[in-house]
Amino acid sequence: MVINENLNDLQKNIGYDFKNIDLLKLALTHSSVVHERMVNKNESNERIEFLGDAVLELISSEYLYLNYPAYPEGHMTKLRASLVCEPSLANDAKEIKLSDFINLGFGENKSGGRYRDSIVSDAFEALIGAIFLDGGFEEAKKFVLRFVLNDIEKKAIFHDSKSILQEFVQNKLKKNISYEILSESGPDHDKHFTARVLIDGQPMHEGEGKSKKAAEQEAAYKTYLDLQLK
């Protein structure tokens, strides 16, 4: 089950037209579809996601090696991990509205799987694998550079924002930091949380997300940027 079946829309979003549209369809097909229809499991995106993951790792590793010559191996590894982790890729996927095109089984779709980070990030990696097979390494590289390896500094801060803010507040401001959940709404499969940062009990910025951690992370990111500007 998909929200938008017009794959031309997705191709416009990503700036790439497939020669073999079946590769794109494969990248968008979640295993829940295969299980419901009881067909060959290779008709899901699991294998092509495996390929896309490897292509993404090579492209991101090459980019960091060439563009951050002062970074030691450990620092590059940590930065790469923050760029290609599940939440990061799921967030990148929002830019191309990938969730609208994922083909899910009825049950998975009903339970909110379309917006689950694990499913969306896997589809994103599968898409990279599909572009690689259809257009080669350079086309896959263009896609990764445009949608993954952009705004790296801000992405690195965002996905490690809680620990970065904690270190900043405790070491530089000599204050205590805590979080509070302001609201929780929605059914179990589609929760929405609002969190707020407190520094020595003083309310700071708020954040929203589909988990408590995600909401706290956004609140931490906003607070850190604000403190850096002061």
The residue count for the chain: 230
Q: Which is nearest to 47 in space by CA: 130, 137, 109? A: 130
In the chain, where do the E strands start and end? 177-185, 192-199, 202-209
> Cβ neighbours of residue 170 under 8 Å, at least 6 residues apart?
176, 177
CATH code 1.10.1520.10 region(s) in the chain: 7-151
CATH topology for 161-229 is Double Stranded RNA Binding Domain (3.30.160)
- What are the percentages of helix, strand and coil residues in the chain, rounded to 5? 65, 10, 25
CATH code 3.30.160.20 region(s) in the chain: 161-229
Quick check: 49 and 123 in contact, CB under 8 A?
yes
Q: Which is nearest to 177 in space by CA: 198, 163, 161, 162? A: 198
Q: What are phi and psi of 205, to 5 degrees?
A: -85, 160
Check 53, 108, 117, 218 and give the catalytic one. Answer: 53
- 172-207 confidence digits (pLDDT tens): 899 999 999 999 988 776 688 999 999 999 999 998
> So what's the pLDDT on residue 70?
95
Residue 5 designated active-site: no
> Cβ neighbours of residue 33 under 8 Å, at least 6 residues apart?
43, 44, 103, 104, 105
Cα–Cα distance for residue pair 174/96, rounded to 1 Å: 42
> So what's the pLDDT on residue 156?
76
> So what's the pLDDT on residue 75?
86
Residue 53 designated active-site: yes
**pLDDT beneath 70: ranges in the chain:** 1-2, 4, 38-41, 189-190, 229-230
Cα–Cα distance for residue pair 44/27, rounded to 1 Å: 7
Question: In Å, what is the CA distance from 115 to each residue of 19, 37, 143, 189?
Answer: 28, 22, 22, 10
Q: State pTM to two decimals.
A: 0.77
- CA 76, distance to chain mean position in Å, is 19
Please give the class, per CATH, of domain 7-151: mainly alpha
Tell me the residue type at 158: F
Quick check: 173 and 164 in contact, CB under 8 A?
no
Check 92, 117, 122, 125 and give the catalytic one. Answer: 125
Cα–Cα distance for residue pair 87/108, rounded to 1 Å: 19
- 9-28 confidence digits (pLDDT tens): 999 999 999 999 999 999 99
Place of tokens 């003083």: 202
> So what's the pLDDT on residue 108?
87
Quick check: 13 and 97 in contact, CB under 8 A?
yes
> So what's the pLDDT on residue 3?
72
